[in-house]
Amino acid sequence: MTSVSMTVNGKAVSGEVEGRTLLSHFLREDLQLTGTHIGCDTSQCGACTVHVNGKSVKACTMFALEAEGAEVATIEGMANADGSLGVIQAAFQEHHGLQCGFCTPGMVMAAADLLAANSNPSEADIRGHLEGNICRCTGYHNIIKSIQAAAAQMG
Amino acid sequence: MPKDNGIGESPKRREDVRFLTGRGQYTDDMKLHGQCYAHFVRSDVAHGIIKSIDTSAAGKMPGVCAIFTGEDFVEVGGNPAGWLINNRDGTPMKEPKRPVLAHGKVRHVGDAYAAVIAETYEQAVDAAEAIEADIDEQDAIIDMAQALANSDHRVHDEIDDNCCFDWGWIEDNRAATDAAFEGAAHVTSLELVNNRLVPNAMEGRASIADYNPGTDHYTLYTTSQNPHLTRLLISAFVMGIAENKLTIIAPDIGGGFGSKIYHYGEEALVLAASKKLGRPVKWAATRSESFMTDAHGRDHVTKMELATDALGNFLAIRTATMANMGAYLSNFATATPTYLHGTVMAGNYTVPLVYVNVKAVFTNTAPVDAYRGAGRPEATFQLERVIDMCARELGMDPLELRRKNFIQPDQFPFTTAAGVEYDSGNFGALVDKLEEIGDLKGFAARKAESADRGLLRGLGINTYIEACGLAPSNLAGILGARVGLYDAATVRVNATGNISVMTGAHSHGQGHETVFPQIVADLLGIPAESVEIVHGDTSKIPFGMGTYGSRSLSVAGSAIVKATEKIISKATKIAAHMMEAAEADVTFEDGTFAVAGTDKSLQFGEVAFKAYVPHDFPHDELEPGLEETAFYDPANFTYPSGAYACEVEVDPDTGKVTVCSFAAADDVGNVINPMIVEGQIHGGLGQGIGQALVENCVYDENGQLLSGSYMDYTMPRADDLPSFTVDQTALTPCAHNPLGTKGAGEAGAIGSPPTVVNAVVDALSDLGVTHIDMPVSPSRVWSAIQAAK
């Protein structure tokens, strides 16, 4: 076991992990941040998408040790300081952009990543950006609408 | 008190807040004190004789608590089929035992033959690798026709062939149907495959068993669409644990689509392990395990025939299908290709004769069972493909051919040639709506514009009807169901006027926590916010058959209506006592009780409070409390219907199909929450278009699962699908349930696959292409184009 330290949602955290422990596993099992979901074992589904040093990353593609010293953001850190839903989260609720909720954390993190880089994405831009996030419930229609609405609101 | 967010409105979903903030509680998110971990050892061959399993080395590995093999469950019951199907000759189907862990033989890749329980997940996985199993591989039985032809080589040695049943519907129609084909002016015939699918709910299956030796009580947290049904199967058939010693909790569930209806061996295993160890035992499937062991969907091979007169009037429909059961019978497997399939083979049409033959086949593949739509997508696909082909052969417009044969609005209730009575519908109105929202008149111009870009544009049309709202218990019983298919609800009005509703339905994406309060609020004239839904816990809910077959609102919702009506009746008695009036003189409207002809009135909340503070109740006439339970058993199936249009562009150089637009006009009956109904339709369309375009589960001739991960099994992604144009206003209410609802959960997945394929064939029809099997992948389309040249 090896010590690892990082900042998650603005808070310094540390733990003891095996070399093979994935970041996704560390977040869920050691930090109890279970909003980051595991939907596959081949890094395809995107349910575990988080931000590492400001970039969108599938947390199952990194070992926890690789995140040593990193700034990590998860779905648990996306609400406003007063606990109310952030703009993207609120848009997903307003436009029914989620059903079972399992892919949703990854979708929100991917959307935040897109909107940080492109404040006015086209429908094709959004669909292209979500290529690594699978949803089985919505047919994506309302996810696209939610992200468009969030983009409009964020200006 | 004002109504708020009642029937017909679209309040925001209350469940979203926890899902959007990472506070959902899915089974794998739970960690019970002292829990250990189960890992299953699964067959890597499709068919083999288990000669020996040596667990001695594994048992000495660090952290190992226990190891189980099939030997440990020899005395335990099998996981049963829920429907008994009889053969054409009246004899019953064959039901080989489905054990908790494979014993004697492994029968598909992924079939579990041992399980290791260890302190950590990693230790369980490591120890599993030290188990030495001597498995003598046998030739795999994969192809259905070969499986039927060769009785010497069997999936189950204890039965005499690989045919589970040979079913005819309706057998008495067979001779007349054959005669109609003999005399018909025109016969269209089509052989097709309904491709095998993997359900792929984004959350894999997971279970945690927690046995308490102090109370001899088991609690099972599990990914179930129907916790009471799971309890019934475990109690009555598999393990014999009394129902009052077994609590099933299905917490937040990340999608089901049918795959989480069924009881699986992993649930029994963790229960047995928790009992043995006196500790909680957890298992969560990897995606690879989900691919290998979740009940798959579809997998039919069909010969479909349609007989018409020279003018295109339908005379008879005849189908012959081989339906794959996989290696074991999953709980609804035998109902899916029979009563959920043959009964809707008349479609939206007045066709006088229908005969359906289905042979169900055991193979060395994962069990196949109901997957979103369940039997009805297979029926709709073959019917609507053959009608499209018939229209081309007769030189008729496909939409007009359908219109010509529609059941007319004044013909309802209409008993079809497939033996069910449709209560309501207006298929012409749906087609009219489709023409409007899909701008079908503009297609020719769009086709020309596509041609300018070197692309072949096609328009696909489809109409469908399905049977859902499962199901009238008396009819289901006649059809072979071993359970009733009613549902139940308790409405508990608490002392301060807020309400808890315990429902037998389970929400795993459908939004029950938002929609069901709308119904209660509307009936009671109170804010929806004061109503909470309790679901997914057998210790809190009277009973319930769960959520599948688009049944939650129509069946469980109707139970809530019935229970709420009982509440109003009881509260009216209390109000009459409080206002010193005769019960018959008390009215109830918009949350207010009043005495006719006086200014006396009471709010609902005042009456609720009195029910729990009954200082002056005449106890021989009036019971304290305000809580009512109702069971609702529907009088018939519900029959949603719809008309769909899809436009595709095909690149003739590459075979790539792009879905340009998709329009769906659905009659789902009355709509309680339009936002959620639209979302259900969208999701169904996504899955149906996925089946048509990209999804395919493939086993090779040795039974190896070639599409066992997201790198090999294509899931529809955001950039594979268009935005949809949907409409639910051309509606006819269900005639026999109190809400007038029909169901929306499966419609999109039923109606969309033939729509897409019809569009692709339309695009290629000038080249002479008449059919392409799903998925209409670039290689298949390109090959069809080359073959037609």
The answer to whether the CB atoms of B710 and A42 lie below 8 A apart is yes
Query: For B269, which DSSP code?
Result: H
- For B140-158, write each residue's pLDDT tens digit: 999 999 999 999 999 999 9
Which pLDDT value is given to residue B541? 97
Cis peptide upstream of residue B722 (ω within 30 degrees of 0): no
Q: pLDDT at position B615, please?
A: 96
* Chain B residues in contact with A126 (beta carbon < 8 A): 718
Contact B727, B683 (CB under 8 A): no
* B718 vs A85, A94, A144: nearest CB: A144
pLDDT of residue B1: 40
Q: Which residues of chain A are within 8 Å of residue B709 when distances are taken between CB atoms?
A: 40-42, 44
How confident is residue A155, by pLDDT bands cut at 50, 70 and 90?
A: confident
Q: Rounded to the nearest 5 degrees, what angle is found at the Cα of B108, between the Cα atoms of B480 and B277?
A: 85
Q: Which amino acid is at B366?
A: A
Interface touch B678/A96, C-beta < 8 Å: yes
pLDDT at residue B3 above 90?
Answer: no
Place of tokens 């679209």: B10
- Minimal Cα–Cα distance from B22 to chain A, Å? 4
CA distance B286 to chain A (A): 7
B772/B753 Cα distance (integer angstroms): 12
Taking a C-beta distance cutoff of 8 angstroms, is the pair B478, B419 a contact? Answer: no
At residue B125 the predicted structure's pLDDT band, cuts being 50, 70 and 90, is very high
The DSSP line for B621-681 is T--S--EEEEEE--SS-B--EEEEEEEEEE-TTT--EEEEEEEEEEE-BS-S-HHHHHHHH
DSSP-assigned beta bridge partners for residue B657? B650
Can you tell me the distance from the alpha carbon of B478 to that of B519, in angstroms, rounded to the nearest whole number? 32
**Is the CB of residue B327 less than 8 Å from the CB of residue B364?**
yes
When CB atoms are compared, the residue of A20, A79, A137 closest to B509 is: A137
Cβ neighbours of A17 in B, within 8 Å: none
Residue B648 near residue B759, CB atoms below 8 Å = yes
The rounded distance, in Å, linking the Cα atoms of B368 and B335 is: 11
* Contact across the interface for A136 and B13, Cβ inside 8 Å: no
**Does the pTM exceed 0.95?**
yes
Q: Are strands B657-667 and B724-727 parallel, antiparallel or unpaired?
A: parallel
* DSSP label at residue B715: P
Q: Chain A: residue nearest B25 by CA?
A: A34
Residue B483 reports pLDDT greater than 80: yes
Q: Can you tell me the ipTM of this complex?
A: 0.98
Question: B340-379 pLDDT, tens per residue?
Answer: 999 999 999 999 999 999 999 999 999 999 999 999 999 9
Q: Are B308 and B181 in contact (CB under 8 A)?
A: no
CA-wise closest residue to A147 among A137, A119, B287, B292: A119
Q: Is residue B527 within 8 Å of B1, Cβ to Cβ?
A: yes
Give the whole-angstrom CA distance, residue B666 versus residue B643: 6
CA angle in degrees (0–180, nearest 5) for B434-B435-B438: 70
What percentage of chain B exceeds 90 in pLDDT? 97
The answer to whether B486 and B545 have CB atoms below 8 angstroms apart is yes
Return the DSSP state at B593: E
Range B450-469 average pLDDT: 97
CA distance A155 to B205: 41
Position B4 scores a pLDDT of 56
Q: Which candidate, B404, B456, B784, B442, places its Cα nearest to that of B645?
A: B442
pLDDT in tens, B699-746: 999 999 999 999 999 999 999 999 999 999 999 999 999 999 999 999
Query: Chain B residue with minimal CA distance to A40?
Result: B287
- Helix (H) and strand (E) counts in chain A: 5, 5
pLDDT tens for residues B654-675?
999 999 999 999 999 999 999 9
B641 vs B669: CA distance, rounded Å: 9
What kind and span of H or E run contains A4? strand A2-8
Three-class DSSP category at B456: strand
Dihedral sign for Cα atoms in the order B374, B351, B481, B95: negative
- The full length of chain A comes to 155
User: Cβ contact (<8 Å) for B255 and A131?
Assistant: no
- Token match 């007063």: residue? A82
Question: Contact B534/B520 with Cβ under 8 angstroms?
Answer: no
Give me the mean pLDDT over the A92-120 stretch: 98
Cα A52 to Cα A56: distance, rounded to the nearest angstrom: 6
**For residue A132, what is the nearest residue in chain B, using CA coordinates?**
B717
Name the one residue in this structure whose structure tokens are 């909340």: B605
Cα B587 to Cα B571: distance, rounded to the nearest angstrom: 11
Nearest to B385 by CA among B281, B462, B292: B462
Q: Do A34 and B686 touch (CB under 8 A)?
A: no
Question: Do residues B641 and B667 touch, judged by C-beta distance below 8 A?
Answer: yes
| Radius of gyration from C-alpha coordinates of chain A | 15
Q: Say what the pLDDT of residue B2 is.
A: 39
Q: Please answer whether residues B37 and B282 qualify as being in contact, where contact means their C-beta atoms are separated by less than 8 angstroms.
A: yes
Count CB-CB contacts under 10 A for residue B20: 29
Tell me how far CA of residue A131 lies from CA of B550, B715, B716, B719, in angstroms. 30, 11, 10, 7
pLDDT tens for B264-291 read 999 999 999 999 999 999 999 999 999 9
Residue B638, classified by CB atoms within 10 Å of its CB into exposed (0-12), middle (13-18) or buried (19+), is buried
| β-pairing verdict for A55-58 and B627-632 | unpaired
CB contact under 8 A, A98 and B20: yes
Q: What is the pLDDT of residues B52-79, one digit of tens each?
A: 999 999 999 999 999 999 999 998 889 9
Q: What percent of chain B has pLDDT over 70?
A: 99
Amino acid at B705: L
> How far apart (Å, rounded) are the C-alpha atoms in residues B431 and B469?
24
Of B28, B255, B683, the CB nearest to A139: B683
Q: How crowded is the C-beta side of B344, counted as CA atoms within 13 Å? A: 31
**Strand B281-284, strand B36-42: pairing:** parallel
Single-letter code of the amino acid located at B213: P
Whether B218 contacts B241, CB under 8 Å? yes
- Measured CA to CA, the distance from residue B453 to residue B447 in angstroms comes to 10
* pLDDT confidence of residue B199: 98
Distance from C-alpha of B152 to C-alpha of B146, rounded to nearest angstrom: 11
Residue whose C-alpha is closest to residue B399's, from B665, B177, B193: B665
Shortest distance between the Cα of B508 and any Cα of chain A, in A, equals 5
Chain A residue numbers touching B717 (CB-CB < 8 A): 127, 130-131, 134, 140
The answer to whether the Cβ–Cβ distance between B20 and A85 falls below 8 Å is yes
Q: What radius of gyration do chain B's Cα atoms show?
A: 27
The arithmetic mean of pLDDT across residues B109-116, rounded, is 98
State chain A's mean pLDDT as an integer. 97
Task: Look at residue B92 and tell me whether its pLDDT is greater than 90.
Answer: yes
Note the pLDDT tens digit of each residue in B156-210.
999 999 999 999 999 999 999 999 999 999 999 999 999 999 999 999 999 999 9
Cβ distance of A144 and B717 shorter than 8 Å: no
pLDDT tens, residue by residue, A42-79: 999 999 999 999 999 999 999 999 999 999 999 999 99
Q: HEC states along B531-553? A: EEEECCECCCCCCCCCCCCCCHH
Amino acid B776: pLDDT:
98
Which DSSP letter does residue A26 get? Answer: I
Mean pLDDT of chain B: 97
Give the CA angle between residues B209, B211, B217 to the nearest 5°.
120
Pairwise CA distance, residues A133 & A150, whole Å: 18
User: Which chain A residues are Cβ-neighbours of B689 within 8 angstroms?
Assistant: 139
Taking only the tens place, the pLDDT of each residue in B550-596 is 999 999 999 999 999 999 999 999 999 999 999 999 999 999 999 99
